[in-house]
Structure formats: structure tokens, C-alpha cells
Structure 1
């Protein structure tokens, strides 16, 4: 789902966060895959909107991850929620990812990304029993 923004400030904050979040997601997946029985392959997608997915495989188990959806989960509060999906409500930027000066807090961005990727791999490991 493409996010919608309430204000121009939220749009600007998203612009500041999304590219670094994307880079952190890809790098953290790379690091996790190095020490994992899972293998991964990136693929461009065009439908329903342009983006990237990561196809993960371990033995006979396969799953896909939408990279931009992960970035949205990092950058926005409670993404996606039922209200967002059903009503097309605007997303809320995770303000904790910014320093008081308005700059991106790189350590918090990295920590949130690492935690999300770590949790995903824990869930993936339970897929195979």
C-alpha cells in the first residue's frame, strides 16, 4: 500500500527517512543471510506499484518480503493498520527516529531496522517447525 501523508512536514520527514531505511533494510538482510540457512534473491516488481521483494528460501520453505513495506514499518507508526488499509488514512511518521534538531537519528534508525529484521528471521525459523 502506498502511504498517504497528512502534512507537507510528514512528506518531508518521509523523504529524509525512506532512502536510509531502504539501505539499512537491504544491509541488515545481507548480514542476517550470511549467518542463516536461508537464501535470498531480490526482484523488481511493478504491480500494484513499483518496488522490490526479497524471495527467501530454506529447504522446501519459501516466503517473500516486500522491502518497501518493511521500510514503511520502520518509518511510520503502526504501519499498516486496519484503518490505513480500509480507509486510506494518512500514515504517522515515527518521530523518535529524529534528533531534536530535525536530523535523522541514525542509531535509532539502525536499531529499529535490526530489531525488525531479527524478529522476521525468528518468525521464519518457526515456519519449518
Structure 2
């Protein structure tokens, strides 16, 4: 999960990430259609760094209890969860071609599109070219960057273009 240098960068990222995800997924679909790769999306949980296995299990147990809890118990369980590290969804595109299997981390690809020179170890900076002069999403620039980075990701997979 990216960190941000300031609240303004975080606000811009929140504005951009859903459109980025939409364009990345659409461009992944187009790239698969033009290749011999067969893809399936897989969802998994990503935990904050340093989260112990015991904490992960505790979160899972409380979440399961929440499903059947009455309102009073649910409030108590929510309070417990508020003191624990919470996971966020991770998405991977699992690509297969015969015996070969590759994976593309969809969120990481989205971060590369959304941010300038994305590095998970440094605060993220929104790519200013993805916003127009009034701060709205520049859909053309966004689609061009998403298309370019998806193309690079598929080129790194190796063989697989349809003839």
C-alpha cells in the first residue's frame, strides 16, 4: 500500500485509483485477447508489514463472528477490530499458456500508472499528467499510460502473441 508525502497527494490518488483500475483491467483484457495467454483474476488479502500470524487469525475470527452478531455484539467486535491491523485486497492476474504460468500484480501495475516513478519504499507522488488543469482525470492520458505499461508487462512475459 503506498504512502504519501502529504494529504493532497493522498486525495489526488484517491481520485485517480478507481479510474486507473478500470483502465488497467480493460487494457489487460485487450492484451489477453491479442495473445495466447489465458487469464484469471485472483483476490487475496495483503496484510500490513509486521502483522503476525496470530493477529491475522484473530481478525479472521472476529470477522466471522461479525456475520452472525446482534447489533450490540457487532459494536463490541468492531471495537476489537479497530485495534488490529486490517488487510486490504490484493488482485493478481494469473496467466497461463500451456505449461507456463505467470502472474501480474494488478494493484502494483495500477500504482505504476497512477504515480510518478512508483517505489513502494518511498512516498508516492501522483503523476500530474493524469490530471487536467482543473484537477479532473485526463482520461486520454490515463488510457495511454495504462496501455503502455500493460504492453510492457505483457512483453516481459515472453512468447504469447497471436499470429
Q: Which residue of 2 aligns with 1:102?
A: 135
SS at match of 1:46: strand
Question: Could you list the per-position Cα deviations for residues 92-119 of structure 1 after superposition, in whole angstroms to 9, with x for gaps in the alignment?
Answer: 1111111111111100000000001111
Q: Which residue of 2 aligns with 1:17?
A: 16
Aligned pairs, how many? 120
Structure 2 segments unaligned to the other structure (5+ residues):
48-87
Q: Which residue of 1 aligns with 2:69?
A: none
Q: Which residue of 2 aligns with 1:36?
A: 35
SS at match of 1:50: strand
Q: Which residue of 1 aligns with 2:118?
A: 79
Kindly state the Cα deviation for residue 9 of structure 1 after the two structures are TM-superposed.
1.0
Higher RCO, Cα 8 Å, sep 6+: 2
The answer as to 2:153 corresponding to 1:120 is yes
Normalised to the residue count of structure 2, the TM-score between the two structures is: 0.69
Question: Could you list the per-position Cα deviations for residues 58-113 of structure 1 after superposition, in whole angstroms to 9, with x for gaps in the alignment?
Answer: 12211111111111000111112xxx43xxx3111111111111111100000000
CA distance in structure 1 between the partners assigned to 2:44 and 2:23 by the alignment: 20
Larger radius of gyration: 2
Q: Which residue of 1 aligns with 2:107?
A: 68
CA distance in structure 2 between the partners assigned to 1:98 and 1:75 by the alignment: 10
Structure 1 segments unaligned to the other structure (5+ residues):
none
Normalised to the residue count of structure 1, the TM-score between the two structures is: 0.87
